[in-house]
Structure 1
């Protein structure tokens, strides 16, 4: 039956739908537009400072200019594409809304020609400013080479035969890991070809194959000819086929879960981020993710309440070498330069709130270029957060029962990186008392050697048994940090401080007196120094222009923490290529191109590159713009507790103000009155 009421209701609905469709469409359009604007703004960062990182558009522009100007082959790769850091004077004199130079620096590798080029592109004029061939060098390895090298190794009949000898007929269950070639033979040096070395692991159905190295097999790949140039099989060694995935299914009974611990800032964070500039508690700095260096800090300054004072112009990890202490030819080449051979920054890993950094933190993206020059976003690779770290200062007065105390708050800027089996975390920690600290975390999986041993024996000279058939090989990690110091100005000098016990005499009858001797390190050659625990040796960078209220030069002191010495023999090849690790401290006069402790191209390098070259002209360090290079390290003798994944080991150092302030800069912090709920 026809229903007139239903028809009226239907017509009314149609009426309202028509009229509501217009504002709904407008709202949808606005929402979508805002969303598109947000996406666009993320990809097209505002370029308002000379140290703003390259945008995706700028990366595309740089590559298109090079391809237009130079006839590159299809095999051309771009191991490095980053901001060409502008002249330091231009940066220091920069004023907002003034024009500034904008350039990109690119390393191009032509695999067919085995040639390396460096280019500079002017991004404003879209022209090629510089193009030059760098002879007899090899850039860092890049991602597409790892897959290529593994494919070449697995296609080699000798490798296939070696696997069959070990009853491994399903080659899909074997992973080939490719390393930079490390120490080269004389013949390999003379050819100048681009090489890598392939190591084999039994993967089976597990994702963690590092616990099952196929010992004694080593393939050297010529990446230019795409052939295996040499192959070693030193005989079958038993290897572990145990599942080392270290997930709940393989670990048996788990420990009881801890009660949840949350870290919150209900009133919001205290730091601010504007572009790539961060401000917090008097500190201000800029940051950038560099494809080689990783996280780099620029223009680190401190506002003391009266003025903003420079401390460090540029701070970064310059190089890291990891030498292994096993003389077996399958092992002795393994001396990885993790920064210069593998481009440390490109291996940065995504972090998560509540895991690598606490839930009150912020995670930031970075834009880099892949080895084909295509820009991509590295999500959540820079973490920044505030943390509580106990007491900052305290005094309890017995007579009045007065208790004055302030809690320590720190700002942490951090990144994590996975380089094959090892994971590293590097954090720059800003303190409220003006201290800048570096924390370097080592974790991940130790590089294991397969062995027939199932119990520790005296025959295992070069490592420790960490599980049955698995030997942890003795090794070291040596980091070099480059610190371009500008303490109160560019006019600085370096002082070495040694504590000296005074002899017993008329002035010191009980022999309890000791003093500090301060010695200026006047030139580069004599400023190559080592730690000395017998004299509590430290170094101070002081201004030659600024003095504090007491008439002394303002300064910042390098305060070392745990460290080690470089253990290879004095005649060892690695000591000649990783010369920076032979000493703990180097000081150089600033030169814009001197950035890397082991030289620009440590892959297949010649001896004595980097710091030995930088100090060869023995320049003056008195009242100059100086750079402090600090080498710190860990000597790792593995233990069963490091297996199958090692707990984090931390090593670091501090830059501590010494006479930079006229009093404790944290003395005027207000007391925090926080409501503490629950039991007291």
Structure 2
């Protein structure tokens, strides 16, 4: 290299360093910004700051303006699918802005390349998810209210700092509340004393509804004194006393390193390839789920994530009927993600990754260790023992898990996407945390406790349900897909079936959106297949993936129930729609204080064709929880899930060629 060239390269490097330092000083680039090399790369802190600055520059916001959601505005699907490395792509930010003083909600989209506000629109009658300031304001308003103070004094509570206020979305509104249109929350009271597990001491019958716009109590109810538990329900080592002898160490090691590769937000493992994001509302979302069978990357899913969930409680008392939490849309599940630890939520061989969020002031921050990725053993993958030769062929099963956890008040949820070596993709939800309790005078179970079960002295666990809806944008071997319902039937005895042992599978096309609103049927082992409309495998079959339900339940609120009308997505197990980028949430864009019929009922109103189309499956799974003493004071994990399993997608067992 000549002296002139060496001087040129040295000067170029110096200029790049100076530019980088200057940008960091101006706050446009942080010291550790990821390389934005793909349209679905996570937003950076700098991009969030730029988007907020653009909004504030082009719109005069009040001092009380809040930013409930700041997220990547997902590019056009065709642009993403046609993207190749090095090709320019759209980079935009989606923002929800709530003007508390005006009680107005706005949506905006900022183009990061031009630094302009490309979209700005007021959304009428929309209330975003609850914000940290809402919780703070509600606590201050309630504790300063004379009626609430008097109610506490009736219960011999004079130190109001010993009471914890829990703020809930208002749920089902009265006609007066709906007409007024103000932003509300319902405030519950718990006695905590010197203990941290205050959920064991609900101050039953006291309910305050707070007008968050006016900073005042809108209504107050005190149904009379009910004894609350005085016991210490903390469950740390200090409060439990003598513990069981510790188990001997079980160590999970991978001395040769991980088998998966991480490239930005793209994960590759055993033929699987996908991208992930943590959305502030949806939580963990997967994109571009492909499988490489040696010849090419074959698409299976474009986008998959938790769309909504609802938790209806089954007590008709006035201070319980509102408790129907939409934990995704009313509370922003993603923002409630919590950091995990190796050896605890994630085994020691895992990897923990960070996520970038924005607070309600629009300020970006990085939350550490909110995404966990790890491999785990799952017993036998396949085996055959040949008796004659005593040949034993067996392969052990390895799984890749990507996980997040979120704490929503008393409940904790784990969301797990599990990749199998046989081409199956599994969803497993974990439910743990603390049962939402009701104070009671009862010390023993009686027939009068018909809406739940006594789980401890003066503590009642109310019967309730958890319903999750997953949005699955299927692209099985391309965007042109069709959906079949598979029903297993036994044939009657006749001349063709003289012993009555014949079993057949009937395939029924789900041709339109209204025809594709379906329910599970255990008698027919009902499943659904999403198949390519264009491709055929070597056997002449359309390659497909089956939606294999796991445990499930029906939605118990009866016809005419207000929550049934608001959470209509939970009244059926399967919905199918033709792809539209704006249709993301089963319960509607703004379920907080919304009217009935939002989300999926609206999406299928035009009854579009589903034959050979870009289809989206919406699968609802539910769990009915009848509390038991063993669920107290902290609940052992309950699990619920489903699988997407290949059917004709591979020419043979895709895991047959694994080495021993």
| Aligned mates of 2:614, 2:102 — CA distance in 1 | 40
| Aligned mates of 1:382, 1:148 — CA distance in 2 | 31
What is residue 227 of structure 1 aligned with on the other side? 216
Alignment partner of 1:417 is 2:409? no
| Aligned mates of 2:512, 2:351 — CA distance in 1 | 43
What is residue 633 of structure 1 aligned with on the other side? 622
Structure 2 spans left out of the alignment, 5+ residues:
1-20
Q: 1:507 to 1:41 in 2, by over 3 A?
A: farther
CA contact (8 A) 2:287 2:303 kept: yes
1:321 is paired with a residue of what secondary structure?
Answer: strand
| Aligned mates of 1:212, 1:68 — CA distance in 2 | 48
Alignment partner of 1:343 is 2:336? no
| Aligned mates of 2:351, 2:146 — CA distance in 1 | 51
| Aligned mates of 1:301, 1:141 — CA distance in 2 | 36
CA contact (8 A) 1:202 1:241 kept: no
One of 334, 355, 369 as aligned partner of 1:366: 355
Residues 417-566 of structure 1 aligned to structure 2 (within 5 Å): 417-566=406-555
CA contact (8 A) 2:483 2:529 kept: yes
CA contact (8 A) 2:30 2:45 kept: no
Residues 125-140 of structure 1 aligned to structure 2 (within 5 Å): 125-140=114-129
What is residue 574 of structure 2 aligned with on the other side? 585
What is residue 293 of structure 1 aligned with on the other side? 282
Distance apart, 1:249 and its partner CA = 2.1
CA contact (8 A) 1:430 1:437 kept: yes
One of 100, 104, 112 as aligned partner of 1:115: 104
One of 269, 272, 275 as aligned partner of 1:283: 272
CA contact (8 A) 1:317 1:480 kept: yes
| Aligned mates of 2:367, 2:517 — CA distance in 1 | 38
What is residue 601 of structure 1 aligned with on the other side? 590
What is residue 18 of structure 1 aligned with on the other side? none
Distance apart, 1:316 and its partner CA = 0.2
CA contact (8 A) 2:350 2:375 kept: yes
Count residues with an aligned counterpart. 635
| Aligned mates of 1:377, 1:408 — CA distance in 2 | 35
Task: Give CA deviations for 1:506-562 in whole Å, capped at 9, x if unaligned.
Answer: 110010111000010000000000000000000000000111110000000000010
What is residue 394 of structure 1 aligned with on the other side? 383
Q: 1:41 to 1:194 in 2, by over 3 A?
A: closer
Alignment partner of 1:642 is 2:614? no
| Aligned mates of 1:152, 1:251 — CA distance in 2 | 36
| Aligned mates of 1:483, 1:425 — CA distance in 2 | 19
Structure 1 spans left out of the alignment, 5+ residues:
1-32, 672-680
| Aligned mates of 1:377, 1:174 — CA distance in 2 | 32
TM-score, normalising length: structure 2: 0.95
| Aligned mates of 2:608, 2:239 — CA distance in 1 | 59
Alignment partner of 1:197 is 2:222? no
Alignment partner of 1:267 is 2:247? no
Distance apart, 1:44 and its partner CA = 1.2
1:78 is paired with a residue of what secondary structure?
Answer: strand
CA contact (8 A) 1:43 1:55 kept: no
Q: 4+ residue runs of structure 1 moved beyond 6 angstroms?
A: none
Task: Give CA deviations for 1:145-187 in whole Å, capped at 9, x if unaligned.
Answer: 1111111110110000000000000000000000000010000
Distance apart, 1:43 and its partner CA = 3.6
What is residue 149 of structure 1 aligned with on the other side? 138
Larger Rg, first or second structure (1 or 2): 1
What is residue 317 of structure 2 aligned with on the other side? 328
CA contact (8 A) 1:290 1:345 kept: yes
| Aligned mates of 2:56, 2:572 — CA distance in 1 | 43
Distance apart, 1:273 and its partner CA = 0.4
CA contact (8 A) 2:569 2:587 kept: yes
| Aligned mates of 2:146, 2:124 — CA distance in 1 | 34
CA contact (8 A) 2:125 2:181 kept: yes
| Aligned mates of 2:408, 2:429 — CA distance in 1 | 14
What is residue 373 of structure 2 aligned with on the other side? 384
CA contact (8 A) 1:364 1:379 kept: yes
RMSD: 1.1
1:168 is paired with a residue of what secondary structure?
Answer: coil
